With several copies, the nearest count.
Chain A
Amino acid sequence: MAQTVILGVIGSDAHVVGITILEQTMEAAGFDVVNLGVQSSQQEFASAAAEHDAEAVLVSSLYGHAEQDCQGFHETLRDAGTDAVTYIGGNLAVGQNDFEATRERFRRLGFDRVFDSETDPQEAIAALRQDLGHRNAETKERVSA
């Protein structure tokens, strides 16, 4: 069965080109993609993840307000009853920042993986394969235990 992935641009960000490319590439790679489009709220991500029993939530942000927009994001997800893997990617800080510091900040906010804007969609797919495969294996273990 295809794995379901929620995709969207958070906050009031309207940069749509990146997720359009991501959606197409992930679908071509066999994922079921629910694309929420731009300017999606935390709640919309959480509801969609719960509704579709999604295995991953991919947040995109280009316009530089990601940090504010993602405060409490993982609580919102938890409250909706989803424990999907979470990725964030794009242009995550205003200005010319050092990406390692940015990555650290978003890791602390709870994201499993943080991608910069040089990310090739294939990298995200490879990561998903690894992370979701791993989760499936875990699930199997738990089942067999």
Chain B
Amino acid sequence: MIRDERLPSGELQRIDEAVRGNWHTGDDVDFEEAVAYHESLPREKQFARVLETADRPLLQPRAGVPCLDDQIDLLRHLEQDGLADLLPTTIDSYTRDNEYGKAKQGLEDARESGDDTLNGFPAVNHGVSGCRELIEALDRPIEVRHGTPDARLLAAVTFAGGFQSFEGGPISYNIPYTKEGSLEQTIKHWQYVDRLAGAYTERGVRINREPFGPLTGTLVPPCIAIAVMLVEGLLAATQGVRSLTLGYGQVGNVVQDVAALRALRELGEEFLPDEVTVTTVFHEWMGGFPPDEARANGVIGLGAATAAIARPDKVITKSPQEFQGVPTKEANAAGLRTTRQLIDMLIEQDITIDGIGEEQELIERATRSLMDAVYEHGDGDVARGVVRAFESGALDVPFAPSDSAAGDVLPARDDDGRVRIFAFSDLAVSDETKEIHEARLDDRARSEDRDRSFAMVADDVDAISDGKLIGRPTGGETDAD
């Protein structure tokens, strides 16, 4: 069974060759030549350096379109009109499924019709030289953002193509993103990705890796998100990754969000080896958005305000068109500027909110329980432990579409809007933690004069898109007919 051990270099090479054979653009990957290419890049394009030396939260949007020229235009717009500090390249869904043939078809259709027939940039199809053209055309560092369970070829091509940051991880890009992929298998695949990043790192090219913190984006309790971040961070560190950005998706309660980001940073520092530089990224609300740009700006505003108080190293912004579909470049830049204005107006203010310490304490305690369970399930090995913990339900993610997770844990907001756990199922947290969560949810049930039930969960899922934080039953409407 899988172990959290560094891939031996022979093994790396063997996989490397096999993977590169999956699509013809893999042939152009040459590690030595790629290291030299990275060395030729100017300092402003060194992702890890730019991020780790920043003295304020850097802003980064999401963005990807099929054709290279369009992607250059799009990113240039976000750089110039959005003043993005860091740029993204979001990969299309076919590439995420390793369906390079379908992606090729989509790309050809896009080139002919001018329509965006793919929901992202098929980097493998564009190959090493296409990626480099992109890197060279822009002034800021660019990250690969995707959702690919088996991202080996994507990593090989994009690292050789000059990208120095790569989102995802074996859990965070499996559990929320796919139904059938086995967790053990994805960990193996990501050991390769991380080892490859480690190999570059050893040659002085620090590839930044960013586990995807928001998971399903839908009311994920902070302890679960942070535990997954720690596990993925540990797995990556084992493979030689030295620049790690741990992520967290806004839940919308300011105290809980600030507490969670602090817990993430502190536990990250504590759990990860000293030689790893840990940074944090805060994602503006990742759940369902209101179907109205004005209201969406309110959601974005709350995210920005939270970021200004919590001061993560990086913020991933949303656009006011999030609800509708992939945003226009103007809307994407607008989301950046709204966020920028709010952060810049707030960041110099000393805002100390009560109760963050207690909430952080609560989050850390539950996270430690989950981490203990992972280690126990793996007899001290975090790779084996995480697979088994997901199998047993000791670790679980709400709304997980994956067969590898029980998906039995259900979250709901308490009376203050903090995300609590409504159904624990087999989640490995202490009875004390459970009692606290239950007590808070009981408070809410009382103040709404209804029982704790799935209706609360469903109401909370819709709440923000309906204009509120907490899904309270509304006087007039009823769900019954």
The number of chain A residues touching the other chain, given as a range, is 20 to 34
- B119 in contact with A64 (CB, 8 Å): yes
- B93 in contact with A118 (CB, 8 Å): no
Residues A96 and B327 in contact in the complex (CB < 8 Å), given A38-B179, A117-B291 = yes
- A63 in contact with B179 (CB, 8 Å): no
Which A residue sits closest to B105, measured CB to CB?
A: A68
Secondary structure class of chain B's binding surface, majority of residues: loop
Which A residue sits closest to B218, measured CB to CB?
A: A17
- A17 in contact with B216 (CB, 8 Å): yes
Chain B positions 81 through 105: 1 when the CB is less than 8 Å from some CB of chain A, otherwise 0:
0000000000001101101001000
What residues on A are CB-neighbors of B179 within 8 Å? Answer: 14, 37-39
Interface-facing stretch out of B31-39, B317-325, B364-372 = B317-325
The residues in A between 3 and 52 inclusive whose CB is less than 8 angstroms from any CB of B are 9, 11-17, 20-21, 24-25, 28-29, 37-39
The residues in B between 173 and 188 inclusive whose CB is less than 8 angstroms from any CB of A are 176-180
- Residue A65 lies at the interface, judged by CB distance under 8 Å to chain B: yes
What separation, in Å, do the CA atoms of A94 and B462 have in the docked complex? 22
What residues on A are CB-neighbors of B401 within 8 Å? Answer: 9, 14-16, 37-39
- Residue B461 lies at the interface, judged by CB distance under 8 Å to chain A: yes
Which B residue sits closest to A126, measured CB to CB?
A: B481
What residues on A are CB-neighbors of B117 within 8 Å? Answer: 68, 94
- A96 in contact with B325 (CB, 8 Å): yes
Residues A91 and B177 in contact in the complex (CB < 8 Å), given A14-B401, A65-B93, A122-B479 = no
Which B residue sits closest to A39, measured CB to CB?
A: B179
What separation, in Å, do the CA atoms of A27 and B176 have in the docked complex? 24
What residues on A are CB-neighbors of B325 within 8 Å? Answer: 64, 91, 93-97
The number of chain B residues touching the other chain, given as a range, is 35 or more
User: Shortest Cβ distance from A116 into chain B, in angstroms?
Assistant: 9
Secondary structure class of chain A's binding surface, majority of residues: loop
Which A residue sits closest to B327, measured CB to CB?
A: A96
User: Shortest Cβ distance from A56 into chain B, in angstroms?
Assistant: 18
What residues on A are CB-neighbors of B287 within 8 Å? Answer: 17
- Residue B137 lies at the interface, judged by CB distance under 8 Å to chain A: no
What separation, in Å, do the CA atoms of A37 and B401 have in the docked complex? 7
What separation, in Å, do the CA atoms of A42 and B409 have in the docked complex? 30
What separation, in Å, do the CA atoms of A65 and B120 have in the docked complex? 11
What separation, in Å, do the CA atoms of A127 and B75 have in the docked complex? 36
User: Shortest Cβ distance from A93 into chain B, in angstroms?
Assistant: 6
User: Shortest Cβ distance from B292 into chain A, in angstroms?
Assistant: 10
- Residue B288 lies at the interface, judged by CB distance under 8 Å to chain A: yes
What separation, in Å, do the CA atoms of A14 and B212 have in the docked complex? 16
- Residue B328 lies at the interface, judged by CB distance under 8 Å to chain A: yes
Residues A17 and B288 in contact in the complex (CB < 8 Å), given A24-B454, A39-B179, A65-B93 = yes
- A64 in contact with B326 (CB, 8 Å): yes
- B461 in contact with A17 (CB, 8 Å): yes
- Residue B458 lies at the interface, judged by CB distance under 8 Å to chain A: yes
- Residue B399 lies at the interface, judged by CB distance under 8 Å to chain A: yes
- A65 in contact with B324 (CB, 8 Å): no
User: Shortest Cβ distance from B104 into chain A, in angstroms?
Assistant: 13
Which B residue sits closest to A99, measured CB to CB?
A: B324
- Residue B116 lies at the interface, judged by CB distance under 8 Å to chain A: yes
What separation, in Å, do the CA atoms of A15 and B177 have in the docked complex? 8
What separation, in Å, do the CA atoms of A38 and B93 have in the docked complex? 14
What residues on B are CB-neighbors of A13 within 8 Å? Answer: 93
What separation, in Å, do the CA atoms of A28 and B288 have in the docked complex? 23
The residues in A between 81 and 119 inclusive whose CB is less than 8 angstroms from any CB of B are 91, 93-97, 117-118
What residues on B are CB-neighbors of A95 within 8 Å? Answer: 116, 325-326, 328
- A94 in contact with B461 (CB, 8 Å): no
What residues on A are CB-neighbors of B106 within 8 Å? Answer: 68
Question: Which of A9, A12, A125, A126 makes the CB contact (< 8 A) with B97?
Answer: A12
What residues on A are CB-neighbors of B454 within 8 Å? Answer: 24
Question: Which of A24, A39, A93, A96 makes the CB contact (< 8 A) with B180?
Answer: A39
- B176 in contact with A14 (CB, 8 Å): yes
- A39 in contact with B178 (CB, 8 Å): yes
What separation, in Å, do the CA atoms of A118 and B292 have in the docked complex? 11
What residues on B are CB-neighbors of A68 within 8 Å? Answer: 102, 106, 117
- A65 in contact with B119 (CB, 8 Å): yes
What residues on B are CB-neighbors of A96 within 8 Å? Answer: 321, 324-328, 331
What separation, in Å, do the CA atoms of A17 and B411 have in the docked complex? 13
What separation, in Å, do the CA atoms of A16 and B454 have in the docked complex? 16
What residues on B are CB-neighbors of A14 within 8 Å? Answer: 176-179, 401
Question: Which of A15, A29, A38, A97 makes the CB contact (< 8 A) with B481?
Answer: A29
Ordered by A's residue number, 16 sampled pairs between the chains whose C-beta atoms are within 8 Å are: A12-B96, A12-B97, A14-B179, A14-B401, A16-B216, A17-B216, A17-B218, A17-B287, A28-B479, A64-B119, A68-B106, A91-B324, A91-B325, A94-B116, A94-B117, A94-B119
Instruction: Please give 7 more A-B residue pairs, beta carbons under 8 A apart, in addition to A29-B481, A94-B117.
Output: A17-B399, A21-B461, A24-B458, A38-B401, A64-B325, A65-B119, A97-B325
Which residues of chain B have a CB within 8 Å of any CB of chain A?
A: 93-94, 96-97, 99, 102, 106, 116-119, 176-180, 216, 218, 287-288, 291, 321, 323-328, 331, 399-401, 454, 458, 461-462, 479, 481
10 smallest beta-carbon distances between A and B, as pairs: A16-B401, A38-B401, A64-B119, A39-B179, A12-B97, A95-B326, A14-B401, A94-B116, A95-B325, A118-B291
